[in-house]
Structure 1
């Protein structure tokens, strides 16, 4: 149908009329970088030498971009970039606050360490079948999940990281990898389907998918909309992705099957994306519903802590043991979410950052343990201290951090969580955290006794030389663990700022709707 050509349509209410500040492009730069480099690597998949030469500098640039993002948010507060110039809630928004930027930077550091370690751990066959393109695609999904301001696109970025994780999981096509991939895929696809159903309900209830818009409309809809049911569905979906009890069994059944660098990346990144989404939605968007479900979340968190620690105590394979340690750590974060206080949220965020670095380092350490001792089995290992005292010292630091003992990074988030529990009278939560730390100490004490102090078993392999490609990322991650423990003040301030932004999202909402809430 023809329309008059002389009619001037005012689109200022729907479109960004002013030029977009160049600094705002930082919000999408990490995702765009990862996708672009991943595409280039796919086109150059026949040139094996170029894969790492492009991917590693690309990951370095990713760390730099995320560091700039965090610095900008600290200096100027949250900011938003919308796609296609369409204003929210019409357009897709990338909204960056301290919480998202901090998680994105930590993930980039872990990925860079994994990329450098992969220079020695991933064979030519693994490179040929796409390790580095999959790694960049994984980081595109992880970065997008941390930086998006749209709940449907949170689902989309979950899909991106899941697709890439499937590819990384089966590199090598061994029987155990295929078996682990099936368990991983089925449970994660169920969780993703539940999340997609929840997204549909969110749109039906709120008429929008923009997180800032949802946060402002939730209060007015609580009397008529089934928000508690919606929150319970979201809790179940992300509990599956985070490997919380009782839907945690897929993780120890799959994380020990791929290359050790892939296990390290999964342990450091994937479950934390689930925790991030749970915090973002339950704390910032649906705080009243989180309060109503707090006892359920706390019970799941306490059970996750204890079941994870007991599961680790029963393992002989170091990789399976670490899988249960990952699960136990998720329980501590759930306790922080259940508390919902500034201290609880700060402790949960601090623990998430600590766990991303520590679990990546511990899996890389497991790879070097097998290289030195010739096996991943505790019954077959022995004499590692005599073989390499320096490596043993690094191991001891990481073990102490995992147990939550001073003076390393694991100590402080547990102190914050215990204090937050005591402050609200939840003594049983504080006791659960301390019991989990005690059991984890027993777990790693057993590892030290069997693999390090005990004399080498008959038939153990000769000592291997640790090259810089494997030693450098491990040492850098260990240095971060030590730094967080000895100088925690900066992390305290960042995590407290992140918790404050979640509890009071007014600055987040204002960055999306500076002129007031949209239609």
Structure 2
């Protein structure tokens, strides 16, 4: 049964390698990719259910037991994230079929797509820090290729910036891993959790923890290290941007949650209540102000990626069961809704040929389903009940007020209002008002681009209507995070 943990990494890796051979056969690539993502999704759901019913499972590769060998660990958080990555991966792949130019498909698009999924799932499931670095690099190298495919000057320039900043963060992460290995003699996360608590001097560990946080904060686009994201995510096609917006920054957030709930749980007054809540507040506020100031569909959504990361960090900063459960719920909601909104931007761009709000308008008359379904998704990300966004934010705001962190709680409410304002701005300028499209654009059949988004719309509605079981599952994850011994015992044994 424990061998199941490897499948979310093995499947996309070997499919990516196979698609290199089929690079000149785009139709066959699409068939193989679709079947592979379906299998990946089924396996991920089965793995998550198995872990939920039976508890955390782990496997030592090659029989080398922890902490000496390579270990993969599947707990409720990791397997839940793998399910979400499979959903996002499948939907974005589906959307790429009618929107991706065939010339881009011939430049190993599908191979890099699956290698990126390999890196994402590996980052969620790995049990040691060095392999976390390795999977980060697999993910990032694939993202460089996906971002630059198409070869426009804008893409090349922004890919270069994106690569430089991520190379720096990777160097910082590797340096932090080297330091913590020097101090503790291990990179296995469960073993580190034991060793760190045994150290008499916590000063060096505190410094190393800050290095880790900075490295992950760059990858997660947390204030003040988010400057690379808006322009970088603006250039690629919508399917790629949606994949990035739904997955890549969440890997950085996942890494922060994992190491700061398992390894660096000392000095919580500094690492949690002080530092993280301050950064969460700035990330939320400046991200949403950037969105309000924009007048381009994709750029507004890019800044909202930053803003929503602040809510996730807020849950970790409060570090209570309610706050962590809210953060987990919010991560799931955001991955689904943010991916959907970016795909809506791609769908409207296919109709109008632009993402500039001043050049769009009146789509509600010619494409009413596109307009109203976007409206529902926009209300969800703003936190309007009974959609998933409300039930993701409510536990976070409640936990903030319960813990006496009134400023961050009121800030979260204020950011929600500005988020709603920016969604209404998009709706009024893109879908409302007089039509600005040609007859050909008005007659464009959107069925093939709106169909892949429909599952995400259904999921966000279901997460709102059935919020109680989803929150209960999130609370199980939160309680596991607050009890690191469960993870440690599953890896090292009792």
| TM-score normalised per structure 2 | 0.98
Matched, 1:156 2:134: yes
Unaligned runs of 5+ in 1: 1-22
Q: 1:369 aligns with which of 333, 345, 348?
A: 348
Matched, 1:510 2:467: no
Question: How far apart, in 2, do the equivalents of 1:460 and 1:466 lie?
Answer: 12
Q: 2:275 aligns with which of 293, 296, 312?
A: 296
CA shift in 2, pair 1:222/1:389, >3 Å: farther
Asked if the contact 2:347–2:446 (Cα under 8 Å) also holds between the matched residues in 1, the reply is: no
Matched, 1:488 2:467: yes
Q: 1:230 aligns with which of 208, 217, 224?
A: 208
CA shift in 2, pair 1:465/1:429, >3 Å: same
1:125-274 matches, cutoff 5 A: 125-223=103-201, 226-274=204-252
Provide the aligned length of Structure 1 versus Structure 2.
Answer: 493
Q: 1:472 aligns with which of 441, 451, 456?
A: 451
Question: How far apart, in 2, do the equivalents of 1:130 and 1:468 lie?
Answer: 27
Higher helix share: 2
The aligned counterpart of 1:444 is 423
* Shift, 1:293, TM fit: 2.0
| Greater radius of gyration (CA) | 1
The aligned counterpart of 1:308 is 287
Question: How far apart, in 2, do the equivalents of 1:334 and 1:467 lie?
Answer: 37
CA shift in 2, pair 1:202/1:370, >3 Å: same
Asked if the contact 2:360–2:437 (Cα under 8 Å) also holds between the matched residues in 1, the reply is: no
Question: How far apart, in 1, do the equivalents of 2:137 and 2:339 lie?
Answer: 22
Asked if the contact 1:401–1:481 (Cα under 8 Å) also holds between the matched residues in 2, the reply is: yes
Asked if the contact 1:373–1:460 (Cα under 8 Å) also holds between the matched residues in 2, the reply is: no
Matched, 1:420 2:405: no
The aligned counterpart of 2:13 is 35
Larger deviation, residues 155-164 vs 467-476: 467-476
CA shift in 2, pair 1:158/1:127, >3 Å: same
* Shift, 1:417, TM fit: 0.2
Partner-residue secondary structure (3-state), 1:355 = helix
Matched, 1:48 2:26: yes
- Cα deviation, 1:84-135, whole Å, max 9, x if unaligned, reads 1000011110011000000110011000001111111112111110111111
The aligned counterpart of 1:112 is 90
Question: How far apart, in 2, do the equivalents of 1:155 and 1:140 lie?
Answer: 13
The aligned counterpart of 1:344 is 323
| TM-score normalised per structure 1 | 0.93
Larger deviation, residues 43-52 vs 169-178: 43-52
Larger deviation, residues 417-426 vs 176-185: 176-185
Q: Runs of 4+ in structure 1 displaced over 3 angstroms?
A: 457-461, 464-469
* Shift, 1:469, TM fit: 3.7
- Cα deviation, 1:226-255, whole Å, max 9, x if unaligned, reads 111111111111111111111111000110
